[in-house]
Amino acid sequence: MTLTWLALSLAGGYLTALLFYPALAFERRKRGVVLIGLGLLLLLFPLLLPAGERMLRFSVGAIALLQLAKLYDLHVGVEQGFRPKGREFLLFIFRIFAMVERKQASIPRPTRRQDLLLLAVRIGQAAALVALYHWLTVFNWTGIPWLVEHGALTMGFGLFGVVSLGLPAVLIRLRGGTGFDFVNAADLLAKTPAEFWRRWNQPTQQFLYEDVFKRNGGLRSPVRAIAATFVLSAVAHEYVFGIALGRVEGYQTVFFLLQGLAVAATMRIRPTGWKVWPWTAATLGFNLVSSVFFMVSINGLSPFYSHGVPAWLRGG
């Protein structure tokens, strides 16, 4: 039954996205009205699923956001003179690791040999990280400070997520498709928060840079552009967790606003020499501490911590 609900919801979501194609011929205001209407339909699709199916609602909500972002990108693209033909539109709608249609040519295209080597590396990394993460989840954390458990589990979870999300992109390219790697696991050791977010989630990063950051002032008004980018990220994450949990908790807003402030503060900093190491350590520490707010929402979807979330974080 769960798979049936998922299939129906995804089919409905993709069909809704396909309805936007005729609107590409409309003038800007009418196209915007169609975008808003179809966007609302996409965002309401997870409500078709049973309230108790949290992970399912989360997955469908995430895909709804992905499709809405792509429709908005097409809307922006038409304003800039880019209007895909039918086949190009279909390919773009169904691509997972590319979110800016007019920038498809800028996506890196490794050679087949490079991708085969990367695939072998990713499989080996995934196997090692599955074993590591399993050990972290069965380890007895009794008596160990909660923040230590949080740091260990979050690093294991993050590394496994990076590697597992990197595998599909490689497989898609080997089949002749295009798509960004999600992120290089080594790139997680960024020297500043600004550098971290320039590397993290490359498909979404491209969308946020082209369609949000640049349209809100870009490098001419970087603070305003960063604020717009991270506020939108906060709203998007509050939606996808809220639709799954049945309530808006505010944790994602705290997390993304903290990160946005850190990015604005470090956007011009480029540590060199011996300064690289303290900056990298400070960035890793800041990310682990601030990610408390992000991971509390993950814990709401499925138990993450062995002894739950501490009372001070629950507000009680």
Pairwise CA distance, residues 149 & 266, whole Å: 28
| pLDDT value at residue 109 | 84
Chain-centroid distance of CA 204 in Å reads 6
Position 162, amino acid: V
State the DSSP string of the chain. Answer: -HHHHHHHHHHHHHHHHHTTGGGGGS-HHHHHHHHHHHHHHHHHGGGGS-TT-HHHHHHHHHHHHHHHHHHHHHHHHHHTT----HHHHHHHHH-SS---GGGGGGS----HHHHHHHHHHHHHHHHHHHHHHHHHHHS--TTS-HHHHHHHHHHHHHHHHHHHHHHHHHHHHHTT-----S--GGGGS-SSHHHHHHHSSHHHHHHHIIIIIGGGTGGGSHHHHHHHHHHHHHHHHHHHHHHHHTS--SHHHHHHHHHHHHHHHHTT----GGGHHHHHHHHHHHHHHHHHHHHHHHHHHS--STT---HHHHT-
Q: Residue 243 — very low, low, confident or very high, per pLDDT cuts 50/70/90?
A: very high
The answer to whether 287 and 196 have CB atoms below 8 angstroms apart is yes
| pLDDT value at residue 87 | 87
The pTM for the full model equals 0.91
- On the question of pLDDT at 131 being above 60, the answer is yes
Burial class (CB in 10 A: 0-12, 13-18, 19+), 226: buried
Q: Residue 73 — very low, low, confident or very high, per pLDDT cuts 50/70/90?
A: very high
Average pLDDT in the chain:
89
pLDDT average, residue stretch 25-42: 94
Phi, psi (deg, nearest 5) at residue 177: -85, -175
- The larger pLDDT score, comparing residue 66 to residue 3, is at 66
| pLDDT value at residue 292 | 95
| Chain segment 161-220, per-residue pLDDT in tens | 777 777 888 888 888 888 788 776 555 678 999 999 988 888 899 999 999 999 999 989
| Chain segment 11-31, per-residue pLDDT in tens | 777 888 889 999 999 999 999
- Find tokens 């597992």 and name the residue: 164
Compute how many other C-beta atoms are within 10 angstroms of the C-beta atom of residue 230: 24
| pLDDT value at residue 186 | 55
pLDDT average, residue stretch 207-236: 95
| pLDDT value at residue 100 | 92
Pairwise CA distance, residues 218 & 208, whole Å: 11
When mean pLDDT is compared across 50-64, 99-113, 178-192, 259-273, the lowest value belongs to: 178-192
